Amino acid sequence: MQFKHLSLAALAAGASAQTMNLTAALTSSPDLTNLTSYVSLFPELLTQLSMATNVTILAPSNAAFAAFLNSSAGAAIKSNDTAAIQAILMYHVLNGTHPAASIMSTPAFIPTMLTNMMYTNVTGGQVVEAVTQGTNVEIYSGLLMNSTVTTPNVNFTGGVIHIINRVLTVPQNISFTATQAGLSAAAGALTRANLVNTLDSAKDVTVFAPNNAAFQAIGSATANLTMMELASILEYHVVNGTVGYSSTLRNGTMLTSMSGMNLTVTVSNGSVFVNSAKVVIPDVLVANGVVHVIDNVLNPNNTSAKPVATASTQSVAFPGATSARDNPLTSGVPSPTGSVGMAPTPAGGAGSRSSSSSGAAMPMKTGAIGAAALFAGAGVWLNN
């Protein structure tokens, strides 16, 4: 009698400690039925996922899935573009087991299983940004889209699942991202300097992208630049071979730009500067690295420009330059050509994030028209 009693207890204890396999974990959550039935259409993918160990799966809820299907990005799914579907799903699988408690208020950039070169040129896998904001765990993906973890820590044999409220956006190429973000002067300058393909096809880059107000402020200096001069200025804004997420940039870090000249990072009171330009929107993930939006155009002939960290705006790095009403660089902005997971027309809007002090040209709107709205304010002067 006693023996039987004991074994039942032991069995019960064993059962509750038993970790579910992936299928069981997905099926156990009523909020994942859409994802589950969708993934079941791809038995090979499901097998691959079931065998994965030490991963974190960001699983879109039913509502997230429905919103995604209704978005332009959902087109890949509707047209059964298997490579695109696989890319989107793999972007939701993070390398390593990351319980919610391990995600901090300092952003972490966690590699995913998205490694297909058709969709990313970030070595080691495209990343997501995971960060705790207030009581929420937020995941930032392409075009600064944020997804919130709604149910954390569903354990399964291969790691942990967090349920999220929006399908992640696979980071897009630099030119598409710049255009979507309303960085029309930067996008126009790249086109004019014939650097779009060079940049979009590079691997592992960090781009410091001046906002429109920054280009406007040196309008007199950009007015008559030759293509070569413009290209050398722009190449000074690109670091080839290093993806420098903001939380990895340290005070005094020297970065060698594509033009061969060095850039100096200053970190002061939580603000990040490159030379004398302040990073006003950090960590916009792109297909081949990261873009930081800055408030000043960098000058390769003025590599020693230093910020005045306490000032709300920095002086321009082009001595004597004055601002222009019109920006000649905005002509020829390319039409966006995205690949997959483009920003869904967001019902809930993109998250907003900026460094602490925002100048007049720093639009920090939330909730309207997605990433474009986040950046678009600085473009208003163009229509004057």
Ligand X SMILES: *[C@@H]1O[C@H](CO)[C@@H](O)[C@H](O)[C@H]1NC(C)=O
Which residues, 104 to 163, sit near ligand X by CB under 6 A?
A: 113, 117, 119-121, 125, 146-148, 155
Query: Judged by CB, which is closer to ligand X: 148, or 315?
Result: 148
Among 54, 197, 248, 301, interactor with ligand X by CB under 6 A: 54
Contacts 24+ apart (CB under 8 A), 198-202: 199/174, 199/175, 199/238, 200/173, 200/174, 200/175, 200/287, 200/288, 201/121, 201/288, 202/121, 202/238, 202/240, 202/288
Nearest approach, Cβ of 1 to ligand X (angstroms)?
Answer: 30
* Alpha-carbon span 121 to 18, nearest angstrom: 39
- Close Cβ partners of 101 (under 8 Å, ≥ 6 residues apart): none
| Site membership for ligand X, residue 68 (CB under 6 A) | no
| Site membership for ligand X, residue 83 (CB under 6 A) | no
Using DSSP bridges, classify how beta strands 159-164 and 146-156 pair: parallel, antiparallel or unpaired. antiparallel
* Alpha-carbon span 350 to 338, nearest angstrom: 18
The answer to whether the Cα torsion of 317, 320, 325, 331 is positive or negative is negative
Query: Judged by CB, which is closer to ligand X: 6, or 118?
Result: 118
Region near ligand X per CB under 6 A, out of 178-186, 250-258, 270-278, 376-384: 250-258
Region near ligand X per CB under 6 A, out of 19-27, 84-92, 178-186, 290-298: 19-27
Region near ligand X per CB under 6 A, out of 100-108, 262-270, 272-280, 373-381: 262-270
354 CA to centre of own chain: 13
Nearest approach, Cβ of 76 to ligand X (angstroms)?
Answer: 11
* Alpha-carbon span 14 to 12, nearest angstrom: 5
The DSSP call for residue 99 is -
Task: Count each helix (H run) and each strand (E run) in the chain, helices first.
Answer: 14, 14
Which residues, 316 to 345, sit near ligand X by CB under 6 A?
A: none
Nearest approach, Cβ of 312 to ligand X (angstroms)?
Answer: 19
Nearest approach, Cβ of 277 to ligand X (angstroms)?
Answer: 15
Query: Judged by CB, which is closer to ligand X: 202, or 342?
Result: 202
In the Cβ-directed half-sphere of 285, how many Cα atoms lie within 13 Å? 31
Nearest approach, Cβ of 383 to ligand X (angstroms)?
Answer: 23
Supply 8's token pair: 């039942």
What are the residues binding ligand X (CB under 6 A)? 21, 23-24, 33-34, 37, 41, 50, 54, 62, 79-80, 95-97, 113, 117, 119-121, 125, 146-148, 155, 165-166, 173, 198, 200-202, 220, 223-224, 240-241, 251-252, 254, 256, 258, 262, 266, 268, 287-288, 348, 351-352
